[in-house]
Amino acid sequence: MKIAAAALLLAASANAFTAPRVHNSRTATSLSVAQADLDGAQGMIDDILKTKNCGPVFVRLAWHDSGTHDCNIKEEFPASGGAIGSIRFDPEINHGANAGLAGAVKILEPVKEKYPEVSYADIFQMASARGIELAGGPKIDMKYGRVDATGPEMCSPEGNLPDAEAGPEGKFGGAGGTASTEDESAAGHLRKVFHRMGLDDEAIVALSGAHTFGRAYADRSGLGAEKTKFTDGSATKLADGSETTSYTPGGSPWVENWLVFDNSYFTTITDESTDEELLKLTSDKCLWEDEKFGPFAKKFADKDAFFESYAKAHKALSELGSKFENVE
């Protein structure tokens, strides 16, 4: 009897160890999220950001959740994609454009475990906005209370996010996703992608300025180097002027101080005298070459002008396709 009970207990604990953890996600039927829980989640996120200096990958995670949105799809939530937390599910997390983002979701899991009533969609967007603010960027007027997508069937089809370089046939984008994004020029492709989200030319240029933050990796997009002198584990600057070596080495940044969110992207890409280890993708350079993007790219050499436009565009991006419940 005793042995049978012990065996049962053992089986139960083994099962508890191996079974996937199920969180009380907020669903379309829950009515509100408590401000106290949002505040708690923010405190935890801030601690993670200060320890790991992983703001850039959080910004990319949130943007890739939002950036699937198609404003022409008028059916009910969550049909049009967007900031709905669907990026945490397979197949979306395994889309080519999302390489490396599973790690970012994993870093944020403890926040969800501690505050199960806060949706993943909110946690991803909060981690991005806090990452920017703590790195010296603008304070974004964020709204919370997003309802989560609840299963993989709510994932967006692959192909809605932008390409930085042309494919083997010389074209950017393709026929996949919810609408074709294919174009011979980088600027035309960016317009197809961002206008499909409902965002305009100014937002395209402002949001591209997020590349002032972070790196591209050889083993993710394949567009960065294994490492550069700016990312080899040596000290890099933080927003408060101090320096840190607390980051995972590797990748190519767009700017020298890649853990500071400022407007240096807009003064570095066009400067031919900048260090050759810094990244200049075709989708970055086109912002100065295109007749309508150009004036904004030049205007954002002024930091205040960039921050004002960026904060507005980031807010819009963070709410694409979202369904909100009350915060109380």
Please classify residue 224 by burial: count the beta carbons closer than 10 Å to its beta carbon, then call 0-12 exposed, 13-18 middle and 19+ buried. Answer: buried
Using left for φ > 0, alpha for ψ between -120 and 50, and beta otherwise, residue 155 falls in beta
Q: Is 100 in the site for ligand HEM (CB under 6 A)?
A: yes
Q: Please, what is the minimum distance in Å from the beta carbon of residue 268 to ligand HEM? A: 15
Tell how many helices (H) and how many strands (E) occur in the chain.
Answer: 11, 6
Please classify residue 44 by burial: count the beta carbons closer than 10 Å to its beta carbon, then call 0-12 exposed, 13-18 middle and 19+ buried. Answer: buried
Stretch near ligand HEM under the rule CB under 6 A, chosen from 26-34, 57-65, 267-275, 301-309: 57-65
Q: Is 60 in the site for ligand HEM (CB under 6 A)?
A: yes
- Choosing from 23, 64, 95, 189, which is the catalytic residue? 64
DSSP state of 183: B
Contact 147, 28 (CB under 8 A): yes
Residue number with CB closer to ligand HEM (33 or 197): 197
Q: Please, what is the minimum distance in Å from the beta carbon of residue 187 to ligand HEM? A: 10
Catalytic (active site) residue 64: yes
Q: Is 138 in the site for ligand HEM (CB under 6 A)?
A: no
Please classify residue 131 by burial: count the beta carbons closer than 10 Å to its beta carbon, then call 0-12 exposed, 13-18 middle and 19+ buried. Answer: buried
Q: Please, what is the minimum distance in Å from the beta carbon of residue 55 to ligand HEM? A: 8
Question: Tokens in use for 189?
Answer: 């492709």
Residue 110: CB atoms within 10 Å: 11
Contact 124, 108 (CB under 8 A): yes
Q: Which positions from 200 through 239 interact with ligand HEM, judged by CB under 6 A?
A: 207-208, 210-211, 213-217, 220-221, 223-224
Residue number with CB closer to ligand HEM (33 or 81): 81
Strand stretches in the chain, DSSP E: 32-33, 215-216, 236-237, 243-244, 252-253, 326-327
Binding mask 145-164 for ligand HEM (x = CB under 6 A): -----------------xxx
Q: Which of 44, 48, 57, 255 binds ligand HEM (CB under 6 A)?
A: 57
Q: Please, what is the minimum distance in Å from the beta carbon of residue 147 to ligand HEM? A: 22
Q: Please, what is the minimum distance in Å from the beta carbon of residue 34 to ligand HEM? A: 28
Total residues in contact with ligand HEM, by rule CB under 6 A: 24
CA angle 265, 266, 270 (to 5 degrees): 100
Binding mask 13-52 for ligand HEM (x = CB under 6 A): ----------------------------------------
Active site amino acids: 64
Binding region for ligand HEM (CB under 6 A):
56-57, 59-60, 63, 100, 162-164, 190, 207-208, 210-211, 213-217, 220-221, 223-224, 283
